[in-house]
A and B are shown apart, each in its own frame.
Chain A
Amino acid sequence: MLMCSIQKRMRRSERWLFPLVLACAVFCLVNASSAQMSIPGPPPQDPADYGKVILDTHSSTGPGGVVFDHWLHRSKFTCRLCHVDIGFAMRANATGIRAGTNRQGFHCGACHNGKRTIDAKAVFASCSSDGTTDKQCARCHSLGKRGVRQYEYKAYTAKFPKGAYGIDWMATESAGQIKLTDFLEGVSEKESAMKNKRDLSITSRDSWVQPITFSHEKHSLWGGCELCHPEIFPPARAERPPYSMFANINGRFCGACHGKVAFPLNNCSGCHPSGPDWEEH
């Protein structure tokens, strides 16, 4: 009834608009729950929760959802090692990690196999099939459980330099408090380093946004080349980047890392050298 009365008031040439809008609205509602369409919120209040990834594809059966804390792993390894050499996707549940792949030595099982030693300690085996206890499983499958994790954020990161939004990882690394491993025996292959470490000046279409100096040096220390190129950043002219802050906020481009694991986008001065330039040009 309402639709009829609206359509009556519309001109004949415009009547196709209404069903089209309705179809789009239905499409939106259907997809609203998918991760692709959610608009991310601000970073969590507790810095221990920043970079937390919940991996939960079938929590109704099995040992429960996995909670992965980035802060522990990034204090030991570069981003490149896990996301390029081992091949984790940068979106929760997109990698397809299964107990089977872990046992074969892929994904988590690349290190968590009971044999690999990190800091002279053997890394516990994940998804082991030799009758391990629930306590062992709960070290990772800890969603909704308390008192099962071995490492605690505050104690572990007590001495790390802090910024406005949690740990300042670059400062921690420069201070020598963490030494990042970039090579895993049997997983990584030695390749000669690429020497392109140019800084880039990224300009915005809006004249009041001051140009950003992007440091390849700082990013390739943790990421190498393949982390970003060509998937996240296909070749484009840096002077006119094909993305905007909206895309960044949505977890694409810079937002693939900055907003989820690297310092959040709220930390404007991390990229933008100074405040907006409101003066007339």
Chain B
Amino acid sequence: MFKESMSKGSVLKPNVFMKGVLIVALAGLGGVRAVGGSSISAAEAPSAQGGWQAEFDDVCSKTQDAMSLSAEELTVLIQRCDSLAPEIEKLDATRKTVFMGRLKRCRGLYAYVLDSKKNEKK
């Protein structure tokens, strides 16, 4: 339900194959690409309960830089947002509403910038 409402025409398949392809592509670009000191990796995921907050803070802290990120980096960020959604769904009602709203805006912004980058190329 969350994914249906989030997607704007693009089909999401956050399966293992896609993650594998992305990791290879990123590795092929020459290793970790530093953006202000923090690295973006598809392998990074909330490891423990409560770890979702740190992940959220990390993923959504890059909105101001969105215009300077590449399409691949934006795609990874969107995937990380999608991975966070189930964690946030488990929270209590108010926390869930607040953080789902914030995640929606954060993910929406990355998708928006990614779309505009794709359109520019055309």
* Complex: A in contact with B (CB within 8 Å): no
